[in-house]
Amino acid sequence: MDITLPRSEDSERAVLGSIFLDGNVINEAIETIIPEYFYSEKNQTIFNAILALAKDRKPIDLIVLTEALHGKVEPSYLTGITSEVPTSANFKHYADILKSYSVRRKIIAESQKNIEKAVSGEDDYSALLGEIATKFSKLAQAEIKNDIITPKELAIEGNADFANRLDNGIGFTGLSSGFTDLDKYCGGFGKGNLIIIAGATNIGKSSLLLDIAHRLSLTEGRAGLYFSLEMDKLEIFYRLISKEASVDLSDMKTPKTLKDAERQKVNRAISAFSASKFFLDTTPALSLNTMLAKARKVKAKEGIEFICVDYLQLISFRMRDQARHEILSEITKDLKQLARELDLPVIAGAQLNRLATNEGEPRLSHMGESFAINQHADTVVLISKDRDGAILHVAKARQAGGGKLAVTFDYKTVSFVEADNAIRNDRY
């Protein structure tokens, strides 16, 4: 019986192209891929040459690889591979496809052997069944990744984390929000986490997101990607410069009113912003798939450490005949997966419904699609107005105990500021 063996030439070339684009990918390739995963002998030859170069700590580029292949693969074929892959960010996905086809071919090959033995009738059927079960069990054990963590491994990693917290005097290992008690109550913004900043209309979601992004990008010098589906690029620019220069936002937009000292502050702030790694996308009604693709591309190119999304309900998502909560569930699930895939925190704003305003203090149930959003979020911060300013309520925190803190609002720079008399140990 002739069977066309499953394979994917495109995935094989994509894996090789990813290695060419990013030298760091080779380390992951060595750990996850073996030459036999390639169906094409030509691609397998190229990968073997790459492994040999990596072993000798030689650079993996077209010139060195062409020489190492000794004419076994034409240079035009290698050039074609590099031109087909725009980014190495999807390497893991390509590698998974490659492995899946390889495993299927092994299953087919083993099944064909068993069919021949079953047809011949030479072996006792019970012995044949036992042999088949043993072979497929070994195949499964060889191909399924072992994710079981031993007590010793976890103790070593956990002790290192504990020592880090002790040495640095902090209660978290993620990125800082810029608010001492907020970091304490939510455990910081950890890698792979989805953080939701929720509030009613005009309560300050965008302001808090920009406060966090400003601190991370301009104060700490971290690279980040900010998706603004509501404000345009110049509004974002003026707000960030106002925060950085501590100059009244309204005065900045009428610069003739500024004093010389304030203009100097603005100029210094603009220089600092220009040198930062704050990457901005203000595409209105941005689709989820496009957002995810852009995030992966910027991560691969710029090595971003966080992503902000302002805000969830403005993301465009095409799903026919689906309820709004189902759409939000898909969006938050994909953002959570993106956070884990890129190994960084995704901080997203969310709109609370009108009941949050009418009933006083906001609750998780005031999120129009609360179950869908809460299901995938690691942290949820609710913003509410207070007589003296506002309250940030960490209503959900997988990394800490949650709690509330008082903040004031600086209308001149449109920024939240942690209050001196912050509420402490007020857990929900």
* pLDDT for the residue numbered 422: 46
Q: What is the DSSP string of 181-237?
A: HHHHHHT-B-TT-EEEEEE-TTSSHHHHHHHHHHIIIIIS---EEEEESSS-HHHHH
pLDDT in tens, 351-362: 887 665 556 677
CA distances from 320 to 317, 323, 331, 368 (A): 9, 9, 14, 20
Contacts of 255 (CB under 8 A, 6+ apart): 263, 266
Decide: pTM greater than 0.85. no
What CATH number matches the domain at 171-418, 3.90.1150.10, 3.40.50.300, 3.20.20.70, 3.50.50.60?
3.40.50.300
Q: What Rg value do the Cα atoms of the chain yield, rounded?
A: 27
Domain 9-143 fold: DNAb Helicase; Chain A (1.10.860)
Sites in the chain below the pLDDT cut of 50: 421-428
pLDDT in tens, 130-158: 677 767 766 765 665 555 667 777 778 77
Q: Hey, where are the domains in the chain?
A: 9-143, 171-418
Polymer length in residues for the chain = 428
What is the DSSP-derived secondary structure letter of residue 148?
P
Per-residue tokens: 126: 């019970």
- Quickly tell me which residue has 């106002």 as its tokens: 242
Residues 252, 257: Cα–Cα separation, whole Å:
8
Of 93, 102, 100, 105, the C-alpha closest to 38 is 102
Please tell me whether residue 316 adopts helix, strand or coil conformation: strand
Distance of CA 268 to the CA centre of its chain: 32
* pLDDT for the residue numbered 187: 81
**How many other C-beta atoms can be found within 10 angstroms of the C-beta atom of residue 154?**
10
Residues 199, 352: Cα–Cα separation, whole Å:
5
Instruction: Find the farthest-apart pair of alpha carbons in the chain and give their distance in angstroms, rounded.
Output: 98
CB 31, CB 95: distance < 8 Å: no
Contacts of 291 (CB under 8 A, 6+ apart): 227, 281, 309, 315
